[in-house]
Amino acid sequence: MLVAIILLWLSVPMAVGDGGVGVGVSPSSLEYNVTGESPVSKELFVVNTGDVKARYDLSFDSQYQGMFTFDRNGFELNPGDSQKVTITYNPTLNPERTDLNIHLYVEGAESGSNVGAGVKIPVQVHHQQTLSTTTSTVNRRHFPLASSDPEIAQALQYLSSRQSADGSVDGFGTSCWAAMAIASCGYDPHSWKKESASIVDYLINSRSQVDLNKVTDIAKFILALTASNENPRNVGGVDYVSLLEDKFINGQFGDESMYNDDFWAIMALTSAGVSPSSPKIQQSASFIKNHQNSDGGWSWHNGPSDVDDTAAAIMALTSAMEGSQSPYITAAVNYLKSQLGPNGGFTYMGQANVASDAWAIMALVACGVDPTGLEWIHADVSPVDHLLSLQNSDGSFSWSPGQVGSAWWTSYAIPALLGKSYPVKGATTQQYTTTTNLQSSSSRTTSVVGKGKVRVRIEDVTRTIWSGWVEIPQARTILCYNSGRQYTIQGDNVLAILDEASEVGGFSYTVSDQWYPSMGFYVDSIGGHKAEGVYGWVYRVNYALGSVSVDNFKVSDSDQILFYYGTENVRPLRVQVDKVEVDVGEPFTVTVEFRDDSTGSWAPLPGATIHVNHDYVTDSQGKATITLNEKRVYNIYAERWGSTPADQYVRSDVIQVGVGVPIPEFSLMFAAAVSAISATLILLVLRLRRAPQRW
């Protein structure tokens, strides 16, 4: 059946032009991320997809010619043959350091003839600047971060290190923010415990600390509960939502001279399921809008605008269904822009700081603005870069450089970096409980009945498009781009999972019904990368090649689904380490293996590149010995992409090694969260750590 799938790709009409000349390229776009002065090289495969011998020439428009060099050009290929071309961008030849969004032309012509064909390949060049004002070097960071990114993993680990046996993280107020931060990562705060009490148990047990006279206190408590999928309408018999609604006086919440209690009341009530169109929320929103300052910002009271309160006001108004194009919102966004510091970062009283960065980023996200867009970059630093520059080596965040980190600031930073806004919604589908039993804290962790999750990983030639867990849906409706037809399909197959993952992960894909129903649906692009020539999107389940079309392969709980851009003979890699935790300076060994599809076993791969802090290459045994000197958790993965399919491999999954930090405890928590607290999966992950060949 593999042959049938490969034939499908060949039958995809991709040859451009006529006269038998065809051009195929892989990848279908090039992206150069440039830091400093060093030239950056990218590889492009040119394939003769026609049926005659042809000569191929690569070129840029003349004004860009001098910035790029080709290691070969003007070569001839027989039908079906391919040639790797290394294209090097030299930043010193672009003195203005302008980012480029241009085309590379690949043209093929039959020898001695004008008959030819060509393709245009989008080429992007991004100049990333390094920060010299902080102790660590920060590159322009991809946004939003994923909860598996090391910055987030370390921040969570820091929060975990601050947790006490009673479940608290630095007291009641900070515990509220920490619960929201944990939930923003997709983890269930109920699983967050040092001993028997989780942070949610602590919050509920300590609810007497909520000052029932203060709207902001009640609101913060509700926000922590809703992020944790707890029911704020019944905590030990108390309805905190009604208590908050009772604070509505004269068209606003709480004190008539204060606005921040309205900001927080609206966010808390909408998070608890109160309709945004309810009269109290709409009147409070009008009250907020009526007290916008002429500069577009807000204060917490009748005073000069500040970033933090303006951000809270934006999130409150968007929670109350104010559109992102509303004049109140656009004026507020412009106010935030005016408060960027000269060195990047949002300021409060003139000083860039973690809270203003985090809140402003969350507010921008809430109204659909990308905080890493060009208009938000000062001195080559985006607010996200600036926020990351305030992270310390222990994972914590400081209010400003040189200050001690705290769980409070760290809890603000996490949802902002993940591109989330307040109110944070709980990630699990757990329903609100009708009663909260304060005594049986541990029983809650087994109360979630999952309908099954699968892990999805999408590997393009040059990047990982997405990886994460998705729930097996009941059904999905897919749209075939070629016919415009919609189909509702069952949820327990690879295509439905891809469709679900594209929604969860925010990436695109296209599916065609050109060969449906005889051969099933065909996925012909993911993340904008289309199948071309013999290369296209291949899937594997638990590393075994899919033998039927995507809609016909049934998936089961805990399956590992891998989509990758490749062709026949391209095989997946995996990495293993002999130790998952080492001391600083203690060597450990990484082994890179590929799957031998003829036997289903794994074999060592020499000459693979291992990415850690920098790159290592495996020896003849497929191994590399690595010594790391910085105390942190490292992500490790391997790649090899040679010139022929037999020497091309699918990038490995990422594994983590803790250097001087206790990773197993952290990984357990990680596993508990992603698997919706399934004890079975925790055991599986534990087994993974001890005997990785089980996966």
Q: Are strands 453-459 and 560-566 parallel, antiparallel or unpaired?
A: parallel
Between 246 and 375, name the residue whose CB sits nearer to Ca ion. 246
Euclidean distance between CA atoms 184 and 575, whole angstroms: 29
Between 261 and 385, name the residue whose CB sits nearer to Ca ion. 261
Of 138, 258, 316, 605, the one binding Ca ion (CB under 5 A) is: 258
Write down the least CB distance from residue 250 to Ca ion, Å. Answer: 9
Write down the least CB distance from residue 260 to Ca ion, Å. Answer: 8
Between 259 and 348, name the residue whose CB sits nearer to Ca ion. 259
Of 151, 230, 245, 262, the one binding Ca ion (CB under 5 A) is: 262
Query: Interacting stretch for Ca ion, rule CB under 5 A, among 91-99, 254-262, 341-349, 620-628?
Result: 254-262
Residue 309 interacting with Ca ion (CB under 5 A)? no
Answer whether 535's CB lies under 8 Å from 9's CB. yes
Number of residues that bind Ca ion (CB under 5 A): 5
Euclidean distance between CA atoms 632 and 55, whole angstroms: 51
Write down the least CB distance from residue 248 to Ca ion, Å. Answer: 9
Write down the least CB distance from residue 212 to Ca ion, Å. Answer: 16
3-state secondary structure labels for all residues of 36-66: CCCCEEEEEEEECCCCCCEEEEEEECHHHHC
Residue 254 interacting with Ca ion (CB under 5 A)? yes
Q: Which amino acid is at 425?
A: K
Write down the least CB distance from residue 297 to Ca ion, Å. Answer: 17
Write down the least CB distance from residue 443 to Ca ion, Å. Answer: 40
Least Cα distance to 412 among 643, 174, 90, 645 occurs for 174
Residue written as tokens 């990982």? 464
Distances (CA, A) of 196 to 199, 437, 650, 680: 10, 15, 42, 20
Between 264 and 539, name the residue whose CB sits nearer to Ca ion. 264
Euclidean distance between CA atoms 197 and 217, whole angstroms: 22
Tokens coding 164: 């006490």
Euclidean distance between CA atoms 176 and 199, whole angstroms: 9
Write down the least CB distance from residue 257 to Ca ion, Å. Answer: 7
Query: Interacting stretch for Ca ion, rule CB under 5 A, among 28-36, 260-268, 349-357, 443-451?
Result: 260-268
Between 313 and 424, name the residue whose CB sits nearer to Ca ion. 313
DSSP H or E segment with residue 261: helix 260-271
Write down the least CB distance from residue 345 to Ca ion, Å. Answer: 29
Write down the least CB distance from residue 543 to Ca ion, Å. Answer: 58
Dmax over CA atoms of the chain, in Å, equals 88
Region for 478 from its dihedrals, namely left if φ exceeds 0, alpha if ψ lies in -120 to 50, beta otherwise: beta
Residue 252 interacting with Ca ion (CB under 5 A)? yes
Main-chain phi, psi angles of 306, to 5 degrees: -140, 160
Between 247 and 444, name the residue whose CB sits nearer to Ca ion. 247
Distances (CA, A) of 171 to 168, 207, 299, 413, 437: 6, 12, 27, 18, 22
Between 304 and 587, name the residue whose CB sits nearer to Ca ion. 304
Residue 261 interacting with Ca ion (CB under 5 A)? yes
Write down the least CB distance from residue 153 to Ca ion, Å. Answer: 39
Percent helix, strand, coil in the chain (nearest 5)?
Answer: 30, 30, 40
Between 247 and 455, name the residue whose CB sits nearer to Ca ion. 247
Query: Interacting stretch for Ca ion, rule CB under 5 A, among 82-90, 118-126, 236-244, 253-261?
Result: 253-261
Residue 313 interacting with Ca ion (CB under 5 A)? no
Between 253 and 359, name the residue whose CB sits nearer to Ca ion. 253
Between 254 and 423, name the residue whose CB sits nearer to Ca ion. 254
Tokens coding 320: 């109350």
Answer whether 59's CB lies under 8 Å from 65's CB. yes
Query: Interacting stretch for Ca ion, rule CB under 5 A, among 218-226, 261-269, 459-467, 602-610?
Result: 261-269
Residues 105-124 that bind Ca ion (CB under 5 A): none
Tokens coding 158: 């820091």
Task: Tell me which residues touch Ca ion (CB under 5 A).
Answer: 252, 254, 258, 261-262
